[in-house]
Amino acid sequence: MIDRWLLPLLVLLLGACARADGPSVRVHVPRGATFSAVTDSLDAKGLVRAPRLFRLYARVIGAHDEVKPGVYEFRRGTGWVKLISDLRAGRFLRAKLVIPEGWDVQRIAERLAAITELPPESVAAALLDSGRAARAGVPGPTFEGYLYPATYTLAVAMPLDVAVGELVAQYRRAWRPAWRARADSLGLSEREAVTLASIIESEAKRPEEMPLVSAVYHNRLRIHYPLQADPTVQYALGRRRERLLYAHIDSVADSPYNTYTHAGLPPGPIASPSVRALEAALYPADVDYLYFVARPDGSHVFTRSIQEHNRVKEALRRERRALERH
């Protein structure tokens, strides 16, 4: 048997002679995997040709219980020293996950599926699972609205719950302590504040207009007037229409997300709002507007009365027709 003090020296010599010029292979180390199971995976991938000696080496240097879970990529011919070093340090594969502002869970699910290597439909189902959301401690009713829009670097093939936990943790970090007191003063729960922010995010194409859009919705809520927010109807439809027609609104009249047919806020958020939208929801502009209509460039005209609103709509309609003729 090789002397336990000579073994590390032998492995170092073998590592120095190794040539990592073979094809790259991936090795998945699951959470809780024993070092014996990890060695078997390395052996099956052609990375370790003497598994018993490799296990002994790891035990001698105290690395047999320090392997980090994850998906690793090695070239065939990589020396044992590097294999052990990478497994101990957790140098597993990582990928960027970008969540844009205003995305809903259906779109986020596709990007999370690429990271977790799960089917998009199963990821979407998990994100819309109210029980799962409750266990994660988000205001609910699902994860919609609480997967914070940002850029993340996550481990490839990481468990979905862990990945979702990263996004939710970022949402919690973004939620400022003063906002809770502000929401209370407005008579809003955290869920209601995020719901309103998600509508503002979806409606306002220009950040500087967010407090004005927020003011319109706050004014309508105060006088118990329907929000009539097109993005909530689009959410109820499940697929975005380029142009929202009355027929579309009627087709989802029974949905609690239809703010034309149901007063007040919908049951929950319709997208992931940014900090700017959250701030606008809690600090609306001090104006008495009740209506707004979009210009062709995405900005809005804000008005106080239905008569004024209708005049602006007709003027913008004529403007669009003139643009289409040219």
pLDDT per residue rounded down to tens, the chain (326 residues):
445 555 555 555 555 455 666 789 999 999 889 999 999 999 999 999 899 999 999 998 888 888 999 999 999 999 999 999 999 999 999 999 999 999 999 999 999 999 999 999 999 999 999 999 999 999 999 999 999 999 999 999 999 999 999 999 999 999 988 999 999 999 999 999 999 999 999 999 899 999 999 999 999 999 999 999 999 999 999 887 878 888 999 999 999 999 999 999 999 999 999 999 999 999 999 999 999 999 888 899 999 999 999 999 999 888 877 777 76
The b-or-e profile of 189-199 (16+ CB within 10 A means b, else e) is: ebbbbbbbbbb
Question: Domain check: are 84 and 99 in the same one?
Answer: no
Question: Domain check: are 160 and 182 in the same one?
Answer: no
What pLDDT, on a 0 to 100 scale, did the predictor assign at position 4? Answer: 54
Please state the pTM of the whole predicted model: 0.86
What pLDDT, on a 0 to 100 scale, did the predictor assign at position 224? Answer: 95
Burial category of 120 from C-beta neighbours within 10 Å (exposed 0-12, middle 13-18, buried 19 and up): middle
End residue of a domain, out of 119, 142, 174:
174
What pLDDT, on a 0 to 100 scale, did the predictor assign at position 3? Answer: 53
Question: Domain check: are 182 and 142 in the same one?
Answer: no
Question: Domain check: are 199 and 167 in the same one?
Answer: no
The pair of three-digit structure tokens given for residue 92, joined into one six-digit string? 């597993």
Has residue 168 been placed in a domain? yes
What pLDDT, on a 0 to 100 scale, did the predictor assign at position 64? Answer: 81
Has residue 239 been placed in a domain? yes
Which domain, by its residues, includes 111?
Answer: 94-174
Q: How far apart are CA 147 and CA 103, in angstroms?
A: 9
Residues 249 and 232: beta-carbon distance below 8 Å: no
Residues 132 and 123: beta-carbon distance below 8 Å: no
Q: How far apart are CA 313 and CA 298, in angstroms?
A: 14
Question: Domain check: are 74 and 115 in the same one?
Answer: no
Has residue 323 been placed in a domain? no
Burial category of 146 from C-beta neighbours within 10 Å (exposed 0-12, middle 13-18, buried 19 and up): buried
Question: Domain check: are 189 and 259 in the same one?
Answer: yes
